Chains A and B, each alone.
Chain A
Amino acid sequence: MKDRIEFEGVTFRYQEDAPPVLKDVDFFIEKGEWVAIIGHNGSGKSTIAKLMNGLLFAENGEVSVDGMSVNPDSVWEIRKKVGMVFQNPDNQFVGTTVRDDIAFGMENQGVPREEMVEKVAGSLRDVQMETYENHEPHRLSGGQKQRVAIAGVLAIAPDYMLLDEATAMLDPKGRQEILKTVRDVQEKSNMSLVTITHDLREIVAADRVIVMNKGEVWFEGTPREVFAHKDSLSSIGLDVPFVAKLTEEMKQYGVSFRKEPLNHEEMVEELWNLHSTK
């Protein structure tokens, strides 16, 4: 049995006469890996998330999780393995308090109460929200609500966690909170992470990036390799971050870099290197 999520020749359309949203998509996500899926609106990236969790089923081809094909019969087992965080912080908060919401997934699985209480405390610690256990959702910020959603997923200890544009509706501070939480979680557990985004700044920390365009896998590689394709990235509607643009400009002036800088720190380091080797 293979311990990974696999897409084999997956095609999907929402309506029979509509054009396919996904066309013959192949890729896999290994255990313990952090994969970022990036694409412009309508590139099919959110559909991918829903296919992994059994919210939608493939029309052609096969989606499988740990060797188990995703179909209406296996869907409840799949959902124990694949947890999901959605975009809108408000519309995925089911419980009347933080504690109730984190427990919701466990309640569905019939976890005994004592165990739930323990795990709620544990996952609150993981997302650094210990003091908010009895808060109602309307007293939390968007970033805090998303951290609660992540805690809810952590509580059921899935093998894979999907974040479908989980930062898209947050302010910069909330976004930083979530990205930090996600990074911490990834470090601590052996969970695979799949982050779906349209923001190139968010793929930097991932192990591998899958770039989607018009329902097809357009490119697959490390974040550094992706940033090396700047020109074509903007041609498929992705906004190239400032550092990458600067790198490109400087290359045109004949400056050569030892490695593609991904963020401001790396850029500064490269510049110092340049300066000292001059």
Chain B
Amino acid sequence: MNNSMIIGQYVPGTSLIHRLDPRTKILVIFFFVIIVFFANSVWSYSILTAFAIGTALATRVPLSFIVKGLKPVWFLIVFTFLLHLFVSRQGDILFSVLGFPFYEESLIQGGTLSLRFFLLILFTSLLTLTTSPIEITDAIEYLLHPLKKLRFPVHELALMMSISLRFIPTLMQEAEKISKAQASRGVDFRTGSLKDRMSAVIPLLIPLFVSAFKRAEELAMAMEARGYQGGEGRTKIRALLFRKKDYIVFFFFCLVMAATIGTRV
């Protein structure tokens, strides 16, 4: 089995963006998502686009990975654009093709909406591209901390996420083993109608579920034997640390936000 199994789309690296505190990244993305909806002029869009593309380049993640992340939403972006182009009829007629009129306003609206969409997806995908899932988990646990007062099980949620991350490769290895074992007994996963293939998956899923439950039980016992009794009074070895570069990034991002607001019309 692959030794460098990657969960999700994380691309390990050492760029500035990779080394930022995950909380910084999540907060910046959070405010970016909001600020995108404030942009309404050529300048403000230009600033945000430059910022997003600049950040994407700074991650030094190969472009193909970034494009792959955008793939599922390309259709949506294009669809939004076309919908606006054909359905809404505002402003002057710009030109017409084969008797179908294209309106200036709807062209602009479609364009900006698609651009917004593109910026949002691009920027948020940078988080999962440059941050390992466990770092994201830590950051989420920290950022959701205030909800603890409302009895929201923050620690439990984070633990569940980290245990899932821990067991995904294990269960994948196991699924592969079971599918080989079943294939050697004559189960055919690849040919036949969709229905046939669906029912071929059942002898794979059932043993996998049974073993997952068994694992869960043993894991719970091992955790208890090692003194686990909930999040109360627990310390953590993985520390999140705001460093100088995080503050610099925050400062820079504030400038970008200010510039975006300032260039609104």
Residues in chain A within 8 A of chain B (CB atoms): 53, 55, 76, 79-80, 83-84, 86, 88, 90-96, 99-100, 103-113, 116-117, 120, 136-139, 152-153, 156
Q: Are A110 and B233 in contact (CB under 8 A)?
A: yes
Q: Are B235 and A139 in contact (CB under 8 A)?
A: no
- Minimum distance in angstroms from A246 CB to a CB of chain B: 38
Contact of A79 among B165, B166, B226 (CB under 8 A): B226
- Minimum distance in angstroms from A139 CB to a CB of chain B: 6
Q: Known pairs A116-B235, A138-B5; list 13 more (Cβ under 8 Å).
A: A84-B225, A88-B215, A88-B218, A91-B218, A91-B222, A92-B219, A96-B166, A108-B226, A108-B234, A112-B235, A113-B237, A137-B170, A138-B1
**At the interface, yes or no: B113 with Cβ under 8 Å from chain A?**
no
What are 10 A-B interface contacts by the 8 Å CB criterion? A84-B225, A86-B218, A92-B218, A94-B222, A96-B162, A100-B238, A104-B223, A113-B239, A138-B173, A152-B226
- Minimum distance in angstroms from A165 CB to a CB of chain B: 12
Q: Are A86 and B222 in contact (CB under 8 A)?
A: yes
> Nearest A residue to B137 by beta-carbon distance?
A96
Q: How many A-B pairs with Cβ below 8 Å?
A: 92
Q: Contacts A136-B169, A137-B166, A138-B169: A92 and B222 contacting too (C-beta < 8 A)?
A: yes
CA distance A271 to B1 in the complex (A): 48
Contact of B237 among A83, A93, A99, A138 (CB under 8 A): A99
Which residues of B, 198-239, contact A by the 8 Å Cβ criterion? 214-215, 218-219, 221-229, 233-239
Tell which of A103, A104, A138 has the most Cβ of chain B within 10 Å.
A138
- Minimum distance in angstroms from A150 CB to a CB of chain B: 12
Contact of A55 among B225, B228, B236, B237 (CB under 8 A): B225
CA distance A113 to B219 in the complex (A): 24
**At the interface, yes or no: B3 with Cβ under 8 Å from chain A?**
yes
CA distance A187 to B90 in the complex (A): 85
Q: Are B237 and A120 in contact (CB under 8 A)?
A: yes
Q: Are B227 and A80 in contact (CB under 8 A)?
A: yes
Contact of A104 among B3, B170, B226 (CB under 8 A): B226
**At the interface, yes or no: B163 with Cβ under 8 Å from chain A?**
yes
- Minimum distance in angstroms from A110 CB to a CB of chain B: 5
Q: Are A90 and B237 in contact (CB under 8 A)?
A: no
For A153, the chain B residues whose CB sits under 8 A away are 226
Tell which of B165, B227, B234 has the most Cβ of chain A within 10 Å.
B227
CA distance A152 to B173 in the complex (A): 24
- Minimum distance in angstroms from B142 CB to a CB of chain A: 14
**At the interface, yes or no: B122 with Cβ under 8 Å from chain A?**
no
For B82, the chain A residues whose CB sits under 8 A away are none
> Nearest A residue to B233 by beta-carbon distance?
A110
For A79, the chain B residues whose CB sits under 8 A away are 225-227
Q: Are B165 and A90 in contact (CB under 8 A)?
A: no
Q: Are A55 and B224 in contact (CB under 8 A)?
A: yes
For B226, the chain A residues whose CB sits under 8 A away are 79, 83-84, 94, 104-105, 108, 152-153, 156
- Minimum distance in angstroms from B254 CB to a CB of chain A: 31
Q: Contacts A80-B227, A104-B228, A139-B3: A91 and B215 contacting too (C-beta < 8 A)?
A: yes
Tell which of A107, A116, A117 has the most Cβ of chain B within 10 Å.
A107
Q: Are A55 and B221 in contact (CB under 8 A)?
A: yes
For A106, the chain B residues whose CB sits under 8 A away are 235, 237
CA distance A137 to B238 in the complex (A): 17
> Nearest A residue to B173 by beta-carbon distance?
A138
Q: Are A107 and B235 in contact (CB under 8 A)?
A: yes
For A138, the chain B residues whose CB sits under 8 A away are 1, 5, 169-170, 173
The 3 closest A-B pairs by CB, nearest first: A92-B222, A91-B218, A103-B237
> Nearest B residue to A92 by beta-carbon distance?
B222
CA distance A55 to B228 in the complex (A): 12
CA distance A100 to B165 in the complex (A): 13
CA distance A109 to B218 in the complex (A): 21
- Minimum distance in angstroms from B242 CB to a CB of chain A: 16
**At the interface, yes or no: B47 with Cβ under 8 Å from chain A?**
no
CA distance A65 to B116 in the complex (A): 65
CA distance A53 to B226 in the complex (A): 9
For B233, the chain A residues whose CB sits under 8 A away are 110
Q: Are A107 and B218 in contact (CB under 8 A)?
A: no
Q: Are A107 and B225 in contact (CB under 8 A)?
A: no
Q: Contacts A86-B221, A96-B165, A138-B170: A108 and B227 contacting too (C-beta < 8 A)?
A: yes
Tell which of A136, A153, A156 has the most Cβ of chain B within 10 Å.
A136
Contact of B234 among A92, A110, A152 (CB under 8 A): A110
CA distance A35 to B222 in the complex (A): 22
